[in-house]
Amino acid sequence: MHPFDFKMLPWNVVFGAGSLASLPARMDELGLERALVLSTPEQRGDAERVARLLGARAAGLFSAARMHVPVEVARAAEETARACDAACTVAIGGGSTTGLGKALALHADLPLVAIPTTYAGSEMTNIWGLTEDGRKRTGRSLAVLPRLTIYDAQLSLGLPPAIAGPSALNALAQAIVNAYDRRTNPVLMNIALEAIAAIAQALPTVMAAPRDLEARERLLFGAALAGATLGAGVTSLHHRLCHTLGGSCNTPHAETHAVLLPYTMAFNAPAVPDLMARIAAALGCADAAAGIHDFSTRLGLPTSLTMLGIGADDLPRIAALATESAVVNPREVTREGVLELLHKAWRGARPE
């Protein structure tokens, strides 16, 4: 076995159906009080429920979180936090809300408690992102890692298949990137393979029977593992392209992952055929990239950039933005190669 370095992030996870009820006691244990509760407009009802649960521990509520964390939203949330003298935040929802909580942790020094209701996995990473002037900046900082993450699958039972499916593909991408990159140490690689298998097994059941709590728990578990691999592992060309499309074209983050994943896998496959074979085995298919495309097609998920409103004329600009700075990736990245990848994703044909 090759020598390797292994370092884990300081996660603090509570997992189990009904575990939301433990939030007040858990916050007391951590000495966290005066929480600003965060959500998107669509999940304001969930945020109000959390605020009621917190009682006097809740300082206020901000329900304007948006996809890709626009800087103006982050500034508005910071103003609200100052106005209500918040000392921490509690984010309930998906990646948009967790991302906003991370922005406040980074720029306002407000510790974050995350309560995921989707499979975004952001709560398990030290990665933050902010969008300004059509560009999404990302970075890593331990300051944005939640002080506490509560996984309660009961909160995801109402998540419709149209959202659950792409969200799970987002998680799957996080694990797959860390299963085909040789920079990933063998501990994380095996966690990634377990995440891939868990998601691949649970997602079809969740899509067909959204109220199946056992399948929801299995899927949430897989997503947590996938987020952990991204947090303690690597990103590559796949995530660079997703953030580029999200920042410059405002494409929905989860759907962008779902569309691009088969094509970024096919792009990298010649450089790491042995690792792609392990991914295929975890997925239960013969070819990893084609298997993901078939999986998405079977579940009715978006499979082309045209479905996300991207025109062929947009592709050269996206390729140029994505290759402005170097990206470490299993296969060499060039503007021409990325443009070819994007054209394939735009057409949406099954990768060969």
| pLDDT per residue as tens digits for the range 277-305 | 999 999 999 999 999 999 999 999 999 99
The span from the CA of 60 to the CA of 63, in Å, is 10
Per-residue pLDDT, 352: 81
Distance CA 236, CA 192 (A): 15
pLDDT of residue 37: 98
Express as a percent the part of the chain with pLDDT over 90: 96
Q: What angle do CA 228, 232, 236 make, to 5 degrees?
A: 100
Pick the CATH number of 161-347 from 3.40.50.10490, 1.20.1090.10, 3.40.250.10, 1.20.120.160: 1.20.1090.10
Whole-angstrom distance, CA of residue 84 vs CA of residue 51: 14
Tally of CB atoms within 10 A around 18: 10
CB 115 within 8 A of CB 138: no
Measured CA distances, 283 to 154, 237, 238, 261, 276 (Å): 26, 21, 19, 14, 10
Q: Which one-letter amino acid corresponds to residue 351?
A: P
SS3 132: strand
Q: Which residues of 2-145 form beta strands (DSSP E)? A: 13-15, 35-38, 58-62, 88-93, 112-116, 127-132, 135-140
> Token pair 């900046």 is at which residue?
137
Of the candidates 293, 66, 265, which has an alpha carbon nearest to the alpha carbon of residue 178?
A: 265
Residue 230: closest CA among 179, 294, 154, 287: 179
What is the pLDDT, as a whole number, of residue 127? Answer: 96
State pTM to two decimals: 0.94
pLDDT tens, position by position, 171-222:
999 999 999 999 999 999 999 999 999 999 999 999 999 999 999 999 999 9
Judged by average pLDDT, the poorest of 4-8, 54-58, 113-117, 330-334 is: 4-8
Reported confidence tier of residue 134, pLDDT bands at 50, 70, 90: confident
What are the extents of the domains in the chain?
Answer: 13-156, 161-347
Q: How far apart are CA 224 and CA 204, in angstroms?
A: 18
Place of tokens 């303690």: 232
Can you tell me the distance from the alpha carbon of 168 to that of 112, in angstroms, rounded to the nearest whole number? 23
Q: Report pLDDT for 32.
A: 98
Nearest to residue 179, comparing CAs of 291, 276, 294, 292? 276
Whether residue 84 is predicted with pLDDT greater than 80 in this model: the reply is yes
Task: Give me the mean pLDDT over the 81-88 stretch.
Answer: 98
Q: How far is CA 27 from the centre of its chain?
A: 24
CA distance 47 to 41: 10
Q: Which of 132-136, 152-156, 191-195, 209-213 has the lowest mean pLDDT?
A: 132-136
Measured between alpha carbons, how far is 295 from 201 in angstroms, rounded to an integer? 11
Residue 246 confidence class, pLDDT cut points 50, 70, 90:
very high
**Axis crossing angle, helix 213-232 with helix 186-208, rounded to the nearest 10:** 150
Q: Which of 3.40.50.1820, 3.40.50.300, 3.40.50.1970, 3.40.50.1220 would CATH assign to domain 13-156?
A: 3.40.50.1970
- Helix (H) / strand (E) element for 223: namely helix 213-232
- The pLDDT assigned to 269 comes to 97
**Domains 13-156 and 161-347 belong to one CATH topology:** no
pLDDT tens per residue, range 1-48: 778 888 889 999 999 999 999 999 999 999 999 999 999 999 999 999
CA dist., res. 192 & res. 241, Å (int): 21
Place 243 in a pLDDT band, splitting at 50, 70 and 90: very high
C-alpha closest to that of 173 among 94, 119, 115: 119
